[in-house]
Structure 1
Amino acid sequence: MIQLASDNYAAMHPEVLEALAAVGSGPAPAYGADPTTASLAQAVRRTFGEGAQAYPVLTGTGANVVALTAMLPRWGAVIATEHAHLHTDENGAPERVSGIKVLPVPAPGARLTPAAIERYAADLGDVHRAQPLAVSLTQATELGTVYTPAQVRAVTEAAHAAGMAVHMDGARLANAAAALGLSLRELTTDCGVDVLSFGGTKNGAALAEAVIVLDPRAVTGVEMVRKASMQLASKQRYTAAQLLALLDGGAGADPLWRRNASHANAMARRLRQGCSAVAGVNPTQPTEANVVFATVPRTLAAALREEAVFYDWGLGETRDRVEVRWMCSWDTRAEDVDAFARRVGALA
């Protein structure tokens, strides 16, 4: 059965497993005082810039909560799109854990624009309003679109001009960078992003994310927040080893993060090409990263689930149609994609 539900379903990459095995024997200092975490810190500086500071955490939600909590005062709020994972799929974690109000804005293509900042900027200083002191954008977005460097920079410049800090949810930053042929730094540090939630789990790791502070002036007490939020692992070397393998490790000219993301993106393009020509399959979003969105007859979706795992995403054009999400991963196989596309054609 082909898995198209989420890149979270994918296995750990063999090179990540090898990295874990390499640090798996013998004792090492706990809570990040180990050589592997120190090596990760060096890799992060090489990747994102000399001022970058890495704080490994265990989950993507944890990364977002730790980052935003360290960025905002108790009365602070964060502007995000109506599609943002921290708004729709984290069970209110920013609000529940840290009292951070999320201010959602409509966003075609799930991309924030400077207009979203202008919408709330007038609330600054108003004692009756949650203070919009941060902006969060997602790269790649929840709809599989990507921000170009110019689009990221437009948001960061508008936010900074209004006195707001900028957070990036980079759960799929690797996919965006691979799609654009850019480095991770070119989409973050060089564009004025202040704090990054860097994703590893969706790209070949397991239980490995990181808060990466690109501008130390944007945060306060990250170390304390990480511990208080239950995101500081005692055996942190295992989390750090996974991230280090993605950033620095492996055979080949490209780092593992790029190879994994490039493959996932390529499989999504292959899937779209194979299915979009089928009558009744109507793509609804550009396939810029590693996901295909399309509306299909509900009967077709039900039949496909006998041999594939995927999510319904929204309503279709009519009651007998549904929007589905087909997501590819680093371990999605071309032969499985082709077989699925043929099955879509046969059933349609």
Structure 2
Amino acid sequence: MRVVQVGVGSATFGRTWRKGLKEIAGVEVVGLIDASPVFLQEAREFFGVPEACCASYGSKEFYDRVQADFIIDSTPHAFHYKNALEAMRCGLNVIVVKPMSDTAATAQTMVNEAARLGRKLVIAQQIRFMEPVLQLKKLIADGVIGDIAYIQADSYFTRQGPVRDKWYQPHPLLLECAIHQFDLIRWMSGLEPDSVIADAWNMPWNEEVWGKKTAIALFQMNNGSRALFRGLSTDQPGESYPGHWEIEGTKGVLSLIKGNIWLNGERIWPAEEQREAALDLSALNAEVLKDALAYFAGGETPVLTGADNLKSLKMAFACIESSEKGSRIQL
């Protein structure tokens, strides 16, 4: 399948797709889009794409010229809505990095337009493909701890906290980072949130100019259980992704700590204890790409769709609303 990558320069977003785009059979990069001439030139040389197939922005004329089947949008989320609608209205399917968009309304429109136009929308929530996450999800589905009563997910960042250089956003932790844990709460447990009460703030060492970088959220799930998320910018030891998890059920407790799974205090996976969970974004994005390609080709429902991811994204926006209003929000 023929692909255009939109946003090619970022080390943590644009460049992390290169492994999959180079190594997966059946995918060909036919176009590149980036507002930066420097990034565009570097990516053009890497992929060997003709200059005529590169542009500073997407358009119907450009997509018609390169004859792409889909786009990968790895730009900041403020641009996802425009880029996705433009591509879908030109007949292309879309992969977009998380979070899907910068408002719930624009994300809903993206999902609605995909359905209306018969296009396929995939959100690259790549932490779902981490092996410890897949193992933990399977154990929960197999019923080893019975019915879930309580979930706690902790995600720790350095004192600086999550910061996107040169781009301000009021809630970098809740929207751009915690979306991973919110998505995993749903995906691993099979439960959906009914309501949330949340708070977001800054530690004394964080500057408000970069937005709020610490948050706590307590969700009431649809089986009556509770899910607690803590995202901290701190010097305390901990991990960001997939984070430290404690999931207690009627038959026992599962823990995920530095990539190791424990059941009732006994380590059960992997065979040899890990020092930390391996976070290889390039390899994880390659898994997202393989799953999406099968979906675009008419395969079974993929691991990631826009319609499903919208439920996870709404958890983030509900947390933001709750923290600003100081009240419980219904989802």
TM, length-normalised to structure 2: 0.32
Q: Which protein, 1 or 2, shows the higher relative CO under an 8 Å CA cutoff with sep ≥ 6? A: 1
The structure in which a higher percent of residues are strand is: 2
The structure in which a higher percent of residues are helix is: 1
TM, length-normalised to structure 1: 0.31
